[in-house]
Amino acid sequence: MNKISLLIMLFVMQVGAQTPTLAIADSLYAVGNYSEAILQLDSIQEKSDVVQLRLAKLYVASGNLDSAIKSYKRILQDHPNKLLSAMEYGEVLVKAGELNAADSLFSLLAIKYPENAGFQFQQAIIKEKKRDSTHIGFLERTIEIDPSHQQALYKLAKNALSRRNFSVSEKLSLQGLQVNPNNASLLSILAQTYFNENSYVLAIPPLEKLLALGQGNEFVHSKLGFCYYHQNNFKDAIIQYESALSYEDRNSDTHYNLGKLYARTGDLKKSETHLLMSLLIKKQPVDAEFLSLALTYKLQEDYEKAFQYFNSALEENPENERALYERAIAADNYFKDKKAVLNYYQSYLGKYSKKGNESLIYLVEIRIKDIKEELHLNGE
C-alpha cells in the first residue's frame, strides 16, 4: 500500500468515526441540549473543520462566546478565505462587545468584497453601538448596493421619522414594502409617518395590515382607533380603543377617547364610566376631562352633576371658556333663583365679551336679556 492510499484510508476511517458523533451532536442541538452536544464533539480527538464549526455554533447557542471566538479563530487561521465563517465570527465579536475587533474585521471584508451589502450593514450596526454618527453613511451605502435590504431600510426610515422628515421615511418604508409587504417594522414606520402628518386615511391600511399579521398592541389599536374616530367611524373606533385597554387598562387618554366616543354614540353610562376612569388615572390638569364628563351629565339632563363638574373644570383651568359658558347653562336648568343664574351668565360675559366665541357671546346676551325681562315681569 503506497502512502497516498494509506492517507486516504486513514481519512475515511476518521470521517467514519466522526459521522455518528456528529449525528448525535446535531440531534442534541436540535432539542436545545447544548452542553451534551458540546461534550459529544469534544470527545473527537482529531477535529475536522466541520466539527470546529459545529462547536463554534454550539458555543454561541449556549452563550459561551469566549469559546466560540476561540473556535472561529482556529477555523480562520487554517482557512482565512472561509467567508461565511468570517461573517459569523464578526457577529459573535459584536455579541461579545468586542466592537473594535469586529469593526476591523468587517472593514477588511468590505474592502475585499465591496459589493457585499451585508458588510456595510454590519459596520453600520457596530458604529451605531459605538454611538458613532457615521453609521448613517454605512446604512446609506448598504441600500446603494442592495436597495431592498430590509434592516437598513428600516433603520434609515426610523431615523428619518425621528427627525420628522416624513417624505423620506415614507419613501424608504414603501421601498422596503415593495419587496416584503409583510415587514411589520416597515409597516409600523409607514403608519407612524402618515399619522404624524395627520394623514389618518392613509395611516389606516398599514395599521390594519399589522393587525392582520398578528402584530396588535396598545399602540396599534389606539392609533387605529384615533384614525377611525377622525373618519367618524365611531363603532370601529370604540372596538380599537377597547382592544387597546386589554393591553393597558390604566391609560387615561384611551379612557378619555372612549368616553367621548360613547357620548357620540348615545351610550351615556359608558361615557360616564370611561371619563371618570380617565380622571382617576390622570395626574395633571384635567379640565378637558371634567368638561367632557359634565357634558355627558348635561346630555342625561342631570344638571346638578353637570354644574358640579363644570366647576371642577374651571378649578383646573379658569381660562376654559366653554366650561364657563356651559356652567351658566347648567345653572339655568338647575337653579330656580334666576338672579343667581344671571350672575353666571354675566360672569361669562364679563370675561369673554371682547375675546370670546362670537356665537356663545350672542347666545349669552340673548339669555341675559330674557332673564332680565322675566325678573322685571315678576317684579324682582
Counting residues of the chain whose pLDDT is more than 70, the rounded percentage is 91
- Output the pLDDT for position 112: 93
Query: How many angstroms separate the CA atoms of 328 and 314, rounded?
Result: 12
- Output the pLDDT for position 53: 80
The pLDDT of residue 306 is above 60: yes
Least confident of 54-58, 100-104, 251-255: 54-58
pTM: 0.74
* Residue ranges per structural domain of the chain: 160-213, 216-284, 307-380
Q: What is the CATH number assigned to the segment(s) 160-213?
A: 1.25.40
The pLDDT of residue 7 is above 80: no
Question: pLDDT by residue (tens digit) across 166-182?
Answer: 999 999 999 999 999 99
Query: How many angstroms separate the CA atoms of 70 and 38, rounded?
Result: 14
- Output the pLDDT for position 19: 62
- Output the pLDDT for position 14: 44
Q: What's the mean per-residue pLDDT of the chain?
A: 89
Question: Mean of the pLDDT values across residues 244-263?
Answer: 95
At 13, is the pLDDT very low, low, confident or very high (cuts 50, 70, 90)? Answer: very low
- Output the pLDDT for position 45: 65
More confident residue, 13 or 258: 258
Least confident of 24-28, 81-85, 155-159, 203-207: 24-28
The pLDDT of residue 2 is above 50: no
Question: Mean of the pLDDT values across residues 353-373?
Answer: 93
Name 64's Cβ contacts closer than 8 Å, sequence gap at least 6.
Answer: none
Q: Do 139 and 148 touch, CB atoms closer than 8 A? A: no
Question: pLDDT by residue (tens digit) across 310-342?
Answer: 999 999 999 999 999 999 999 999 999 999 999
- The CATH classification of domain 216-284, taken from the options 1.10.10.10, 3.30.70.100, 1.25.40.10, 1.10.357.10: 1.25.40.10
- Output the pLDDT for position 56: 79
Question: Mean of the pLDDT values across residues 139-165?
Answer: 97
The pLDDT of residue 3 is above 80: no
Counting residues of the chain whose pLDDT is more than 90, the rounded percentage is 71
CATH topology for 307-380 is 1.25.40
Please name the residue that has the C-alpha cell 468515526.
17
Question: Mean of the pLDDT values across residues 5-16?
Answer: 38
* Own/partner pairs, 50-58, CB within 8 angstroms, 24+ separation: 50/18, 50/22, 51/18, 51/22, 53/85, 54/22, 54/25, 54/26, 54/29, 56/85, 56/88, 56/92, 57/29, 57/88, 58/25, 58/29, 58/34
At 281, is the pLDDT very low, low, confident or very high (cuts 50, 70, 90)? Answer: confident
Question: Mean of the pLDDT values across residues 66-82?
Answer: 87
At 40, is the pLDDT very low, low, confident or very high (cuts 50, 70, 90)? Answer: confident
In SS3 terms, the chain reads as CCHHHHHHHHHHHHHHHHHHHHHHHHHHHHCCCHHHHHHHHHCCCCCCHHHHHHHHHHHHHHCCHHHHHHHHHHHHHHCCCCHHHHHHHHHHHHHCCCHHHHHHHHHHHHHHCCCCHHHHHHHHHHHHHCCCCCHHHHHHHHHHHCCCCHHHHHHHHHHHHHCCCHHHHHHHHHHHHHHCCCCHHHHHHHHHHHHHCCCHHHHHHHHHHHHHCCCCCHHHHHHHHHHHHHCCCHHHHHHHHHHHHHHCCCCHHHHHHHHHHHHHHCCHHHHHHHHHHHHHHCCCCCHHHHHHHHHHHHHCCCHHHHHHHHHHHHHHCCCCHHHHHHHHHHHHHHCCCHHHHHHHHHHHHHHHCCCCCHHHHHHHHHHHHHHHHHHHHCCC
Least confident of 2-11, 145-154, 176-185, 187-196: 2-11
Query: How many angstroms separate the CA atoms of 287 and 6, rounded?
Result: 92
Q: Do 51 and 41 touch, CB atoms closer than 8 A? A: yes
